[in-house]
Amino acid sequence: MIHFIGAGPGAADLITVRGARLLGEADTIIYAGSLVNPALLDYKKPGCRVYDSASMTLEEVLSVMDETEKAGGVTVRLHTGDPSLYGAIREQMDALDERGYAYDVTPGVSAFSGAAAALEAEYTLPDVSQSVIITRMAGRTPVPEKEKLSLMASHGCTMVLFLSTGLLEEVERELQEGGYAPDTPAAIVYKATWPEEKVFRCTVGTLAQTARENRVTKTALITVGGFLGDRYTRSKLYDPGFTHGCRQGTEG
Interface residues with ligand SAH (CB under 6 A) are 9-10, 35, 79-82, 85-87, 110-111, 114-115, 162-163, 189, 191-194, 218-221
Q: Which is nearer to ligand SAH, 85 or 128 (CB)?
A: 85
Alpha-helix runs per DSSP H in 154-206: 168-177
Q: How far is 116 from 120, CA to CA, in rounded Å?
A: 6
User: H or E segment at 132?
Assistant: strand 132-136
Name 51's Cβ contacts closer than 8 Å, sequence gap at least 6.
28, 29, 30, 31, 61, 64
Give the angle subtended at the CA of 3 by the CAs of 47 and 45, to the nearest 5°.
Answer: 20
Residue 12 beta carbon to ligand SAH: minimum distance, rounded to whole angstroms: 12
Smallest distance from ligand SAH to CB 37, Å: 9
Q: Compare residues 75 and 164 and give the one whose CB is closer to ligand SAH.
A: 164
CB of 136 to ligand SAH, least distance (A): 8
Instruction: For the CB of residue 165, give the shortest distance to ligand SAH in the complex, in Å.
Output: 6
For ligand SAH, the closer CB: 90 or 218: 218
**CB closer to ligand SAH out of 6 and 185:** 6
Our CA dihedral for 4, 10, 15, 20, rounded to 10 degrees, sits at: 70
- The three-state secondary structure class of 86 is coil
Q: 209: closest CA among 156, 164, 172? A: 172
Measured N-to-C along each axis, helices 58-70 and 90-99 cross at an angle, to the nearest 10 degrees, of 40
Choose between 48 and 111: whose C-beta lies nearer to ligand SAH: 111
Nearest-approach distance from CB 104 to ligand SAH, in angstroms: 17
- Find the residue with minimal CB distance to ligand SAH: 81
